[in-house]
Amino acid sequence: MFATRHLFRLIAMRHVGRHKLRTLLTLLGLIVGVATFIFGPTLAASITSAFDAASADMAGRADLEITGPDEGFRQRTLAIVRGIDGIALAAPQAQTVAVLSGQSEPLVIFGIDPSVEPTVRSYPLTDGRFIQHAGQVLFTTAYARERDLQLGDHVTLIAANGSRTFEVVGLLAASGIGRLNNGDVAIMRYQDAQDLRGNANLDAIAITLKPDITPDTVIDRLRANLPDDLKIEAMQDKRGPLEDIRNVLSFVMGFSSLMLLSVGATLVYNTMTVAVAQRRTEIGVLRALGVSRRSVRNLFLLEAAVLGAVGTMLGIAAGYALVQSAEQALDLGAIFNTGANLKVDLSVPGWLPIAAVIAGIGLPMIAAWLPSRSAAQIDPIEALSGVHTETDFMRMKRRRVIAAIGLLAVSIYLLANKSQGQSMPQIISGQLLMLPGVLLLLPGLIVALGRIVPALMQRLFGITGLLAADHLTKRPRRMTATAMVIVISVWAATVVSSGNFGYHRFIDEWNASQNVWDLTITGAGPSPFRSSVSLPTTLIDQLLRRRDITAIVSERRKKIETPRGDFEIRAIDLTAYQAQGARFLWDKGDEAAAHARLIDTARPAVLLSSFASFAQDLQPGDTITLDTPRGPVQFEIAGTILSAIDPVAIGEASLIMDRALYRRVWHDDHVDRLMIKLTSGADAQTVRRDLQHDHPDGGFAIIDPAQLSASIDAAIFNMSITSQVLSLLLLATMTLGIANTLVIEVLDRRREMGLLRALGLRGRQVASSLVLEVTLLVIIACALGLPMAIYTNYANSLGIGEIFAIRFVLDPIEVAASLGLILVSATAASYFPARQAGRVDVLEALHCE
């Protein structure tokens, strides 16, 4: 060990210092990998932490919570609950959404009982006092400051049941309940909230228990005394809607960062492999002097560990910087908007840097294992005599090819076998098996191409082509790791571009099919597709009187819970909808028959979104039972549609039904959205101005088709930016890998290049052969990566495509652009090494060992 330490300091570290460029390129690869390792899981952890914090704030000191259907439950439930033995306090709660007069952003209205509520939840005030009487409201300090509200001001809030005026009596700190909805929350007596909403129901009752009684005991007592449609839960068991998002995000981020770190480790493999080759004689000397094989191996492992350690430290710093930048540059609350508008503070989990250190040092050491072992096996006699038995030649190993074919066969079976139905684990397994299968084939493929490619390259490019192809196909070992990185880059870039293209194509299709209205009027909300308040009835009356409007189609949205999961009902005047040329993006089922079925209100039927169909395993012809004021009603699923009206609403499941049916079953005349067609020659802006003039309090938004399209574009941009950043990181790592390999190649082949120059090859020809070698490598990688990407798209379209409502389609132009970018990057990476190769001093090169 002592000896190894000396050798490391005197030999290995000095080599690292001598070859600064090579070392730097290797370090850069590790830094990128570790930085992503820090950033990715931080993002996932911070999102879920934000939600958990919000949930904890809501829970406060409550032990249990009673909730009910979307429209709430009867107030007399409170009296029943307060009579149950074991309950210390029962705090009622009524929630609704309103907008402040003149504003469009929704306010969450939290209606409470001021006499008991402070015992259950905290309401830290920065100014003023807590609410006591009707007509009083609390805002958060930040909300008040942004809208220039002071204590004592009287404000008008607009909600489904009209507008009401309140006095601002206190300001909340940005903690506890003040964190909800990014601070856009108003606290008032629950009776005031009920008045705003237009019914006397409660939404929840928070319960604290007496000492020495278990939650389960009280839950049993409550169930025995309350209606079945009420949900009674212990606060510790409550799950949030972000559960699935958390799992997906964690998986995607973790997988991506591990992949990038692995790519960084391949750079270490490259570096160590060539270091061993370059230092053969030196290794022979050490062995001759009495250094054991184990010591030689440990020497190189230690070198890899030090490289990993330095790269990790710098990578962690870069990761923290990336986290800081992301927090400032991205609106994460909007990107991961589920209607709750979480305030996301990026915070690196304490365990993550430790994990990064383990991975950042461990992976390079694993990558360096084979070269280190190879160094230990070097025959000292051969090394000292300078005779190098060519071990770089690779052969098509039969076992490797069989293993590759086996993996690919299983992958194809998993993805093509529909008899069991496609499940996410099946789809993911199929894709994961495909990658190693293809990578195992890669070296053998390059060797096999050696039979035809050199002759072909010689015909096309002369001596430079021959040299390029000959070196690549006869001695591909050093290039194999780089080739794998390029294959992964090609695959990832193509899949990402097809995903992004699929989204954009979806927008185009959506614009052509559903964005056909001259104006759309929606209740105020976080986006034109997510309204928080219904439209005032006076608005609708006014519209009906206008002569420049030829058609008005109404839509009502309502959230509903079922044993299968949560849905959102979209009740639309379907006959008028289709009469105006609008149509849904069809997925499954007979479209014409489905439409006829939907308007037959005597036989309830719905259309289901593709997400719900996949998640709930519901197909056309199945039925779904919904709880209605009339009792449970069975609806037949007439067909499924691609539904991503708000693409960020991942997890949202839509049920489309005719509005006449909805009104008959739910007795609900509220309208959330109006889609308007104007007469020929009518001016949309005039209509907009007139409506805004007549309704100065606002409470709704009037949107034209361009604004609607722009809104989706913005939402998709936020989603696609993450995948684009990851692609760019992969591209950067690929470029580094190529540059790293070529720098080493030039150093390693100096003698050969000197010999070629001595034989009469021009410097430019030597440089060109190197560039051609890289180009050939990229072409081979594309030949493998592209079919992989097509196959991955097929797999994604079976599973993810249904969840995210996008079609994974390869656009030739986008694919060509991505591949072109990779080729340009590879060529750029080879520029300086090639230039160096062309300038090799002949005498010096021939003289060097």
Binding site for another protein (CB under 8 A): 2-3, 6-7, 10-11, 14-15, 18, 281-282, 284-293, 295, 380-381, 384-386, 849
What lies within 8 Å, CB to CB, of 52 at 6+ separation is 240
Give 10's Cβ-side CA count (13 Å radius): 8
680's tokens: 């020929």
Q: What is the DSSP code (8-state) at residue 545?
A: H
DSSP 535: P
- Name beta bridge partners: 165: 156
Smaller CB separation from another protein, 277 or 786: 277
Spell 28-50 as b/e; 16+ CB within 10 A means b: bbbbbbbbbbbbbbbbbbbbbbb
Q: Which is nearer to another protein, 38 or 286 (CB)?
A: 286
Residue 254 CB, nearest distance to another protein (Å)?
40
Strand pairing partners for 520? Answer: 675, 703
Closest to 849 in 3D by CA, of 365, 219, 405, 279:
279
Q: Considering the complex, what minimum distance in angstroms separates the CB of residue 829 from another protein? A: 28
Least gap, CB of 291 to another protein (angstroms) = 5
CB of 846 to another protein, least distance (A): 15
The owner of tokens 């250094």 is 291
The three-point CA angle 80-85-89 to 5° equals 70
Between 148 and 849, CB nearer to another protein: 849
Q: Where is 776: in which H helix or E strand? A: helix 763-798
Q: Which is nearer to another protein, 2 or 632 (CB)?
A: 2
d(C-alpha 566, C-alpha 654), whole Å: 9
Which two three-digit tokens encode residue 177?
Answer: 């309940």
d(CA 21, CA 177): 55
What's the closest the beta carbon of residue 494 comes to another protein, in angstroms? 44
- Chain centroid offset of residue 665 CA: 38
Helices then strands, counting H and E runs in the chain, come out as 31, 20
- Select 287 or 807, whichever has its Cβ closest to another protein: 287
Nearest-approach distance from CB 17 to another protein, in angstroms: 9
Q: 368 is written with which tokens?
A: 């360096």
Q: How many CB atoms lie within 10 A of CB 574?
A: 21
Q: State both tokens at 231.
A: 């949900």
Instruction: Give the three-class secondary structure for 111.
Output: strand
Distance in Å, CB of 284 to another protein, minimum: 8
Tell the smallest beta-carbon distance from residue 384 to another protein (Å): 6
Closest contact distance (angstroms) between CB of 388 and another protein is 14
Query: Which of 54, 204, 197 shows the shortest CA–CA distance to 117?
Result: 204
- Residue 1 vs 813, nearer CB to another protein: 1
Q: Between vectors from CA 571 to CA 568 and to CA 574, what angle results, nearest 5°? A: 135
**Smaller CB distance to another protein: residue 28 or 272?**
272
* Nearest approach, Cβ of residue 374 and another protein (Å): 16
Q: Contact at 8 Å (CB) between 737 and 29?
A: yes
Minimum distance from CB of 296 to another protein (Å)?
A: 10
Nearer to another protein, 11 or 410 (CB): 11
Q: Are strands 106-112 and 87-100 parallel, antiparallel or unpaired?
A: antiparallel
Q: CB of residue 451 vs another protein: minimum separation in angstroms? A: 21
- Do 188 and 131 touch, CB atoms closer than 8 A? yes
Q: Which residues contact 354 (CB under 8 A, 6 or more apart)?
A: none
The three-state secondary structure class of 582 is coil
Measured CA to CA, the distance from residue 220 to residue 491 in angstroms comes to 55
Output the DSSP codes for 344-410. ------THHHHHHHHHHHHHHHHHHHHHHHHHHH--HHHHHHT-----------HHHHHHHHHHHHH
Closer by beta carbon to another protein, 191 or else 281: 281
Structure tokens at 172: 């909340």
**Measured from the CB of residue 377, what is the shortest distance to another protein in angstroms?**
11
In angstroms, give the least distance from the CB of 300 to another protein: 15
Least separation in angstroms between residue 465's CB and another protein is 30
Nearer to another protein, 298 or 796 (CB): 298
Non-local (6+) Cβ contacts of 390 within 8 A are 475
Please identify, using beta-carbon distances, which residue of 115 and 385 lies nearer to another protein: 385
In our burial notation (b when 16+ CB lie closer than 10 A, e otherwise), range 793-811 reads: bbbbbbbbbbbbbbbbebb
* Least spacing, CB of residue 306 vs another protein, in Å: 16
- Residue 14 vs 76, nearer CB to another protein: 14
Comparison of 377 and 679: residue with beta carbon closer to another protein: 377
What are 622's two structure tokens? 């199945």
Nearer to another protein, 88 or 381 (CB): 381
- Classify residue 179 by its DSSP letter: G
